[in-house]
Structure 1
């Protein structure tokens, strides 16, 4: 099973494999660590979802946390099966999620309120159809990186206009987890041959999942703080059990 000769899902049909031995622990899970590492992201997204719903944040943040959960579930299915269909189920939500981040970041200053969500929705739908037919390889990665880069200037603008030290710490943690996670992904992809000869595989891609789960949580919490400040909800960053930060707001009685 470790060589993928016999498995529940059949031969590998995905175009990307990570530096983890296939079916080393289970007949039903192709990449064990890369699969279970997504559970952490689902848990953090669920915590963020509960906080957003309990304090009645705008629906965009409910959708954002649910999007994080869907992406993690899609990633689990992909790494568990290494099938081409499930690969698209992982990659397409990645693009959808970035489009959602773009909406949350840019919509407050967008004067034509209906045009942005309409355009982003149509863009995401067209991409899903085209991606299912053409199955982009390197083109998908370039496209995804461009979407990420488009979000950075706006995130930086929010950062420099935020004077709350706790909120700035969230942004710093967002940048740190993104940088460290990207390094884990890079070394897992580029130096797989060398890593495979080590006595213990550090599971760089699984670490990428864990760090990106934290990254999304910190980004979402920071954006919730910024949006609450825009709405005049007196946001402040507090900590659950002195470990996990979240945003606490006080809406005016008129709202």
Structure 2
């Protein structure tokens, strides 16, 4: 191990990333890739508090909680670099995308009980299959397909939203996922070159940070769109003048 530190978790059995292992602690394999998940947890917690405080539908509370679970799973994975912990990171990624699909498409689903039942069974079947079979490229392709299924609906919400501030949330969502994806790709493809630099920009850690903001912007945009559907007069306001969130005014009958 680098700097003579030993591994508390044993040999690496999962996908290894460009960050050097066990440089700062024998208990944390990739320090930057581990702590870079903290912003996602903080942002999801803020979103959860807002969803509960203003009594949004439970689906949004579950969505924010799923973001936190995913970030915690990622922290454990990068701290240990073990196969089981990697599955504990990847399976929640798929579950989270299934939840996004439900939130995006549920308003137009004719049979309300069919969709959540199908998505639940699909998520459970994937979890079992993923625990038995290791498929790296197949997982990435599968995850990308789930992401692509969300794009048409997000675009439909965008073009039907007139509020300028809400549209900015969608643009920030697109910007963070584009830049984050580029950081992930460069870190993966050019690791040998980057490892020889005096300073490693930690592209995978940047991916974590940007995706934390990406999830928050996506959640906030969807909360705005849903509040608009329910006639709750949503507005995008900013906490401390920086962090956007949705403020609603429900009719007294609700």
**TM-score, structure 1 normalization:** 0.98
Counterpart secondary structure, 2:244 = strand
CA change 1:241–1:5 in 2 (3 A) is closer
Which residue number corresponds to residue 120 of structure 2? 121
Structure 1 residue 6: deviation in Å?
Answer: 2.3
Deviations 1:11-37 (A, max 9, x none): 1111x1111000011110000000000
Which residue number corresponds to residue 246 of structure 1? 245
Q: Separation in 1 of the partners of 2:198 and 2:49?
A: 41
- The answer on whether the counterparts of 2:180 and 2:210 sit within 8 Å (CA) in structure 1 is yes
- Paired residues for 1:114-153 under 5 Å: 114-153=113-152
Deviations 1:152-195 (A, max 9, x none): 00000000000000000000000000000000000000000110
Gaps of 5+ in 2: none
Gaps of 5+ in 1: none
Matched, 1:202 2:208: no
Q: Over aligned residues, Cα RMSD in angstroms?
A: 0.9
- Paired residues for 1:1-255 under 5 Å: 1-2=1-2, 6-14=6-14, 16-255=15-254
Counterpart secondary structure, 1:200 = coil
- The answer on whether the counterparts of 2:5 and 2:26 sit within 8 Å (CA) in structure 1 is no
Q: Separation in 2 of the partners of 1:126 and 1:253?
A: 43
**TM-score, structure 2 normalization:** 0.99
Runs of 4+ residues deviating >3 angstroms: none
CA change 1:161–1:239 in 2 (3 A) is same
CA change 1:158–1:93 in 2 (3 A) is same
Deviations 1:50-82 (A, max 9, x none): 000000000000000000000000000000000
CA change 1:136–1:5 in 2 (3 A) is farther
Q: Separation in 1 of the partners of 2:188 and 2:217?
A: 25
Q: How many residues align?
A: 254
Q: Separation in 2 of the partners of 1:160 and 1:167?
A: 11
- The answer on whether the counterparts of 1:4 and 1:22 sit within 8 Å (CA) in structure 2 is no
